Amino acid sequence: MAREVPEETEMPLSWADSGQSILKLNIRHLWLFGAWPLSGSWFYDVYNAFCLAMGVWNAIESSLSLYYSWGDMDETTLVFISAFTNACGTAKMALFMRSRRQYNALARRVEVLMSVQSEFCSADPALADIRRGSQRRASRLTIGLLFLMFSQYPVWFPMPIITQPEQRRLPLVQHGWDNNTNYYELSYALQCMLATWATQLSNSVDLLFVTVMILTAAEMRILTLRIVSLKSENNEVGLVKRDNVVIGQTENTCDDEMYEKLCQCIESHQKVIRFVKQLENSMSSIVMLQFYFSVLIICVTLFQATYSTDYSSVLKSVSYLPVPAGQIYLYCWAAHNVTEQAEAVTLAAYGCSWLEASPRFKRALRILMCRAQKSLVITAAHLYPMSKDTFVSLVNASYSFYALLGQMNRR
């Protein structure tokens, strides 16, 4: 059976601990970009402070650039794309640093969650396949989307040098106060470094939570199959009648086994629900932040792709547009899957062999069904439910802002 959650779940993870975690890829990627310390090294603290300092500098740089480019809608929206993207990454890191103990606890609780039904997965190859499939899906999704983000850099970073080498333009934010004449090479390198750090960090945080939700949905799926498989063996056993065997005793034994299995399912169900609530508390503020910034980024990126007269800006905007939309969709898709699998518990309970079961089994099953009928919805900031319908509404909001910008631009 599963072990209880230890009191020291909030203790910092070490490098060895991360290597044994099912979230190894996500944790170490966050470590690489300065968000998740895996040791007490002062050098890492300096690296962490440097990353935050770059984020602050970008906020100042973007503000100055907006001041000097205000009135030029094309240039202003391009600054907004960069500013919103980097601000999102910086804000996520600040929130992550503030709640490090909470995320250490989340990583340890994931291991506990996976141990809740490990005994049953070991005994049933079909359940083990569901778990392995979810782990492979999460790993492939993490690797694929991080490389998708890396594919944006060859489009954004060298484009000013390729298309306008004589104008000495910077890749993201232009220095209108000196026409990019002072510290041009240093500014170019810093903007590339900051954009790489902010986008990788932002996507890595998202993928951490999405991975956890994928694993949680798989655990709920495993639970539904366990509930469906509950059946009485009275008919099979009762047909074998010997001279010195009392059939009633055999039936009682089978009923006891069936009831005990149901109690184990109820216990697993309660643990998964508690974990989902803990996950929601951990990710709630970051998800709401991502929704807010993604709506703004989609709006200004779509505007830039539609109205810009610079073909290089159009190319950059079109190639980048799927990234913020994908960040919203990942959260909504993963959370929707958790909700769907939770709702399937009621149907699974109704589909088990409860007709031949004992009265106490039926009573316990009714309690399970009543609890499962209460929707298990993951929210952003405990206000905004995450689902596929939410994704559509957020995209519609982005389009509404884009249409408003378009009207302003035509005046």
Q: What is the pLDDT of residue 244?
A: 45
Tell me the one-letter amino acid at 317.
S
Q: At what angle do helices 73-98 and 42-69 cross, to 10 degrees?
A: 160
Helix (H, G, I), strand (E, B) or coil at 239: coil
Query: Shortest CA distance to 114 belongs to which of 122, 126, 125, 104?
Result: 122
Written as one string, the DSSP assignment of 273-321 is HHHHHHHHHHHHHHHHHHHHHHHHHHHHHHHHHHH-S-HHHHHHHHHHT
Q: What is the pLDDT of residue 253?
A: 66
Q: What is the pLDDT along the chain (411 residues), one digit of tens a residue?
A: 444 444 457 788 889 989 999 999 999 999 999 899 987 788 888 998 899 999 999 999 999 999 998 878 888 888 999 999 999 999 999 998 888 889 999 999 999 999 999 999 999 999 999 999 999 999 999 999 988 889 899 989 998 898 888 888 999 999 988 888 889 999 999 999 999 999 999 999 999 999 999 999 999 999 999 999 887 554 444 444 444 444 444 556 667 788 899 999 999 999 999 999 999 999 999 999 999 999 999 999 999 989 888 888 888 899 999 999 999 999 999 999 999 999 999 899 988 888 878 889 989 999 999 988 888 999 998 888 999 999 999 999 999 999 988 888 776
The model scores a pTM over 0.75: yes
Q: What is the pLDDT of residue 398?
A: 92
**Please, are residues 80 and 300 in contact by the beta-carbon 8 Å criterion?**
yes
Tell me the one-letter amino acid at 58.
N
- For tokens 């989307």, what's the residue? 145
Q: Cite the DSSP H helix spans in 5-124.
A: 15-20, 24-32, 42-69, 73-98, 100-116, 118-123
- Measured between alpha carbons, how far is 382 from 285 in angstroms, rounded to an integer? 9
Q: What is the pLDDT of residue 73?
A: 81
Give 399's strand partners.
Answer: none
Cα dihedral 110/115/117/122 (nearest 10): 130
Written as one string, the DSSP assignment of 342-388 is HHHHHHHHHHSS-TTS-HHHHHHHHHHHHHHTS----EETTTEE-SH
- Measured between alpha carbons, how far is 394 from 283 in angstroms, rounded to an integer? 18
